[in-house]
């Protein structure tokens, strides 16, 4: 496993890959790796000749400085996990490499960034769009791998690739969960014991809502019940719980079994913000 720190370092390996007609798979991460990340790595290894994992905590996608400052840094452990998975390259740039000066470019994703995460995290998807564009331009992968847990992020990146005619295929991998159902997240390690237990309200609410939708209960009644359920949890605070189209992210006011749909949730548990989603109709 080779660790590279700059785009220039990677360039010689990319040229060699190009010369030998090797396919490249990229797994972009912010480190603090868990089994969900490793699922992406394994999927990439099954489909590509060379796998590159990037580890970079991107400051431009944080609209909360405290969240950025407290984001886990576990690089040594991350490298050990990636070595065990026999990853070919790990790209570990520093902020000065990626942003030699403050970006002047701004990316407007239209309606995609005005709902859900976009509404609660202004500027977040602009930061995502810029760092993903940079990584694609530096690594030049044939395929890039992302997790379904960040559903709206995958929609943003699909739009980025389509509108800019980027020559990369996106592969979305299902959410990996803990045994009790909690979606794996680097943020989970920051939860206290009590918070970790109450965090289960996210997946429990999603599963409850899905079951009731499929048995014919009205969506507004389900939303009201979920709001009440969160109010009963002293450590949890709901931001949104929405039924949406999983590609346009249009919010539905009622369920239609003939339309694609997913439920998305975001909540604070203590001071930790968690998100999750569950497909209803694919």
How confident is the model at residue 57, as a pLDDT? 97
For residue 109, which of 170, 164, 30 has the smallest C-alpha distance?
Answer: 164
Residue 119 tokens, joined: 């509404």
The CATH number assigned to the domain with range 186-277 reads: 3.30.1300.10
Model confidence, pTM: 0.96
129 among annotated binding-site residues? no
Helix (H) and strand (E) counts in the chain: 11, 9
DSSP-derived 3-state class of residue 276: strand
Q: Burial letters for 181-206: b for 16+ Cβ neighbours within 10 Å, e otherwise?
A: ebbbbbbbebbeeebbebbbbbbebb
Query: How far, in Å, CA of 218 to CA of 215, rounded?
Result: 9
- Nearest CA to 173 out of 184, 187, 160 is that of 184
Which candidate in 37, 142, 228, 245 is catalytic?
A: 37
Domain ranges of the chain: 2-173, 186-277
Q: Is the dihedral of CA 273, 176, 43, 13 positive or negative?
A: positive
Superfamily of chain region 2-173 = HUPs (3.40.50.620)
**Is 33 labelled as part of a ligand binding site?**
yes
Place of tokens 């452990």: 77
Give pLDDT tens digits along the chain (282 positions): 999 999 999 999 999 898 899 999 999 999 999 999 999 999 999 999 999 999 999 999 998 888 899 899 999 999 999 999 999 999 999 999 999 999 999 999 998 989 999 999 999 999 999 999 999 999 999 999 999 999 999 999 999 999 999 999 999 999 999 999 999 999 999 999 999 999 999 999 999 999 999 999 999 999 999 999 999 999 999 999 999 999 999 999 999 999 999 999 999 999 999 999 999 987
- Per-residue confidence (pLDDT) for residue 248, from 0 to 100: 94
Q: What pLDDT shows up at residue 63?
A: 86
Was 184 annotated as part of a binding site?
yes
Is residue 106 marked as binding? no
Q: Does the annotation count 37 as an active-site position?
A: yes
Closest CA to 205 of 115, 269, 154: 269
């Amino acid at each position: 496993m080779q660790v590279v720190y700059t785009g220039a370092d990677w360039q010689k390996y990319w040229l060699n890959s190009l010369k030998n007609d090797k396919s490249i798979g990229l797994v972009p991460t912010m480190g603090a790796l868990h089994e969900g990340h490793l699922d992406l790595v394994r999927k990439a290894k099954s489909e590509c000749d060379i796998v590159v994992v990037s580890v970079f905590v991107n400051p431009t996608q944080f609209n909360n400085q405290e969240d950025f400052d407290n984001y886990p840094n576990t690089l040594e452990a991350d490298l050990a996990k990636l070595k065990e998975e026999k990853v070919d390259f790990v790209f570990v740039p520093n902020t000065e490499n990626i942003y030699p000066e403050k970006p002047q470019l701004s990316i407007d994703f239209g309606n995609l960034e005005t709902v859900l995460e976009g509404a609660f995290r202004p500027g977040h998807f602009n930061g995502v769009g810029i760092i993903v564009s940079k990584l694609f331009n530096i690594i030049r992968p044939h395929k890039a791998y992302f997790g379904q847990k960040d559903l709206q992020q995958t929609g943003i990146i699909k739009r980025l690739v389509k509108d800019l005619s980027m020559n990369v295929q996106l592969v979305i991998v299902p959410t990996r969960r803990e045994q009790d159902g909690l979606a794996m997240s680097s943020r989970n390690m920051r939860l206290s014991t009590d918070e970790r237990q109450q965090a289960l309200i996210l997946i429990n609410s999603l599963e409850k809502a899905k079951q009731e939708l499929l048995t014919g209960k009205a969506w507004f009644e389900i939303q009201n019940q979920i709001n009440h359920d969160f109010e009963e949890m002293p450590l949890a605070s709901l931001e949104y719980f929405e039924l949406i189209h999983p590609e346009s992210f249009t919010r539905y006011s009622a369920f239609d079994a003939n339309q694609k749909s997913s439920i998305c949730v975001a909540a604070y548990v203590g001071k930790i913000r968690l998100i999750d989603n569950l497909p209803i109709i694919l």
